Structure 1
């Protein structure tokens, strides 16, 4: 039961993060963390300012365990790690 609640809260936080990003004219399926890292790489001022703030926040929250939160978020988005297993390309091959 505790694992289910933890997963639920995790997914809820991601959904709220994606909603905030969409409200701020971002892609609906991207988190602010991922976007901050991505636009920082393009040299955009708001990414250069916001990415270190987000990373520092997660560094404190995770007691030093998540030093590169925004980059990790970007990689997770790029690799689609947040998708349920049923949505993966390998799983869909069996349903065709």
Structure 2
């Protein structure tokens, strides 16, 4: 049990370190107009989706779009917010081959 907790703490620290490194790289990539910034943004998007119970390979926009199609309130609210930045954002970004078809 103690060994398992210690391993969990090591993994937690490694994840925190990698997150910090990724944020630094993303900042530098944005300044340098690099495609790496976009790839890192997508990876954080997928991480957020996973943290909220979705598939690790699906973006939260895709999951919200699927939820909106089913009339789920959280999906409608999130897509409404994202649509202010890009019209039909969630619908355009639904990944049929990722996650569940039902959000």
Same fold, judged at TM 0.5 (above): yes
Gaps of 5+ in 2: 1-28, 99-103
3-state secondary structure, aligned to 2:48: helix
With normalisation by structure 2, the TM-score equals 0.58
Structure 1 residue 20 corresponds to structure 2 residue 48: yes
Q: Which has the larger radius of gyration?
A: 2
Please give the alpha-carbon distance, in whole angstroms, between the structure 1 residues aligned to 2:49 and 2:79: 14
**Other-structure match for 1:29:** 57
Please give the alpha-carbon distance, in whole angstroms, between the structure 2 residues aligned to 1:68 and 1:8: 25
**Other-structure match for 2:91:** 71
Please give the alpha-carbon distance, in whole angstroms, between the structure 2 residues aligned to 1:35 and 1:68: 14
Gaps of 5+ in 1: 59-65, 81-96
Aligned residues: 68
With normalisation by structure 1, the TM-score equals 0.62
Q: Which runs of 4+ in 1 moved over 2 A?
A: 77-80
**Other-structure match for 2:76:** 48
